[in-house]
Amino acid sequence: EIVLTQSPDTLSLSPGERATLSCRASQSVSSSYLAWYQQKPGQAPRLLIYGASNRATGIPDRFSGSGSGTDFTLTINRLEPEDFAVYYCQQYDSSPRTFGQGTKVEIK
Amino acid sequence: QVQLQESGPGLVKPSETLSLICTVSGVSISSYSWTWIRQPAGKGLECIGRIYRSGSTDYNPSLKSRVTMSLDTSKNQLSLKLSSVTAADTAVYFCARDALLWAFDYWGQGTLVTVSS
């Protein structure tokens, strides 16, 4: 199975700053079948990005995704208070679908 | 508006079978694939498996021997059964729509299942 490793585990930032989250795959994720989700306490994950760089419906343009192959990045420009949460990357190129361990973006 | 709602017992005894239902509204389950994911408290997300609109399945090898998924198109529901549970199966269980190119685009709110005697 494809193992996804996210870094850093925790990112401490202030509102208005930029967050850069990394996701590295143990083997190439073809066709950029890489997604990013946001999860807040007590809630289900919410799809942010699919196909490595496409924003899901209703997602603000301060969220952007990039990358290909084994290295992917989620960037959040100008952090808003509601953006402090845990973020997961996921590959859906091969079975089983796998998630990274998550990056927590916390208020500094 | 697509909505998913998980339901089932919140407490299951060790060695017994965990059974959950996911009721889907706003779309026919025959039109998409569906997946089950679980999350132990304070931990990450694990895909249990998925069921295609044809009814064929694709289970995570780590759970394959204990998992059964099915569709009930008359009720627009999908079901999950996990047999021989242990405390390690205690988690929040989510169902989600597997929209292929569009990843998991709709999720239920999740249901906590605790395995304990």
What residues of B are in contact with residue A44 (Cβ under 8 Å)? 94, 96, 107-110
Q: Does A40 touch chain B (CB under 8 A)?
A: no
Contact A46 B94 (CB under 8 A): no
How many other CB atoms are found less than 10 A from the CB of residue B93?
22
* DSSP β-ladder status, A19-29 and A34-39: unpaired
Provide mean pLDDT across the span A7-33.
94
pLDDT digits (tens, 9 = 90+) for B38-80: 999 999 999 999 999 999 999 999 999 999 999 999 999 999 9
If you search the block for the tokens 């007590």, which residue do you land on?
A42
Q: Which of A44, A92, A98 sits opposite B110 (nearest CB)?
A: A44
If you search the block for the tokens 């998980």, which residue do you land on?
B6
Q: Is the pLDDT of residue A30 over 90?
A: no
Q: Using CA of residue B23, residue B26, residue B27, residue B28, what is the dihedral sign?
A: positive
Q: Is the pLDDT of residue A31 over 80?
A: no
Provide mean pLDDT across the span B6-19.
97
